[in-house]
Amino acid sequence: MLVGECLKKLRLFLGLTQKEMSQGIVSESFYSRVERGTRKIKIVDLLALLNKNGIHLKDFFNEDISNQESDIVNSSINSNQFEILTVKLSQGEMLENKASEIRELAKIAFIFLRTFYQKGLIDETKKVIKLIETFPPYPLLAVYKLVAQYYQGLIEKDSLKVEQIRELIKLSGCEESLLKDLPKL
């Protein structure tokens, strides 16, 4: 996918206008041409756009969270591991307000969320949902928060909420594999 296409996809996912996305970095008209692929953006300006909008460069080029599972999945995930992670977070041992660390925690929380739900551990699933809800409002954490709400809808057996969130995920342009991996009611 071209840089302009990726920028547009992220901008739409974040619910921003071209003016909001580019403000203070490049002109709106230049940004529009970048999205259309008729202009190339300097790497310095691209990095400034991504930073301004809370998007990590690694995430810009690889945003499919369904494929970001690590060795954690292959290990035996249990509620004790999650409790330790939560305690470390609450004591400030892991984060110190660093977006990259919060993003890594979000990936781990996503894995716990899915694993606990698949194993029928509803109380543990609810704990992960609550943790994800406490994450700061960084734009690329939005998909994790949306997925957490999806699982909350599954727990509540709220078919309308589940279907609406599936549609939002579809509209956001997230990889189709994410939708395939989400359990259904």
The band of 109, judged by pLDDT with boundaries at 50, 70 and 90, is confident
The band of 63, judged by pLDDT with boundaries at 50, 70 and 90, is very low
Calculate ∠ Cα 151-69-142, nearest 5°: 45
Q: Is the pLDDT of residue 97 over 60?
A: no
CA–CA gap between residue 161 and residue 110 (Å, rounded): 19
Tell me the pTM.
0.56
Beta carbons within 10 angstroms of residue 31's beta carbon: 24
CA atoms lying within 13 Å on the CB side of residue 23: 8
Once rounded to an integer, what is the mean pLDDT over residues 138-153? 84
Please give the domain boundaries of the chain with CATH numbers for all domains. 3-63 (1.10.260.40), 66-181 (no CATH)
CA–CA gap between residue 135 and residue 45 (Å, rounded): 27
Model pLDDT, residue 64: 43
Task: Write b or e for each residue in 47-80: b if 16 or more Cβ atoms lie within 10 A of its Cβ, otherwise e.
Answer: ebbbeebbbbeebbeebebbebbeeeeeeebebe
Once rounded to an integer, what is the mean pLDDT over residues 4-23? 85
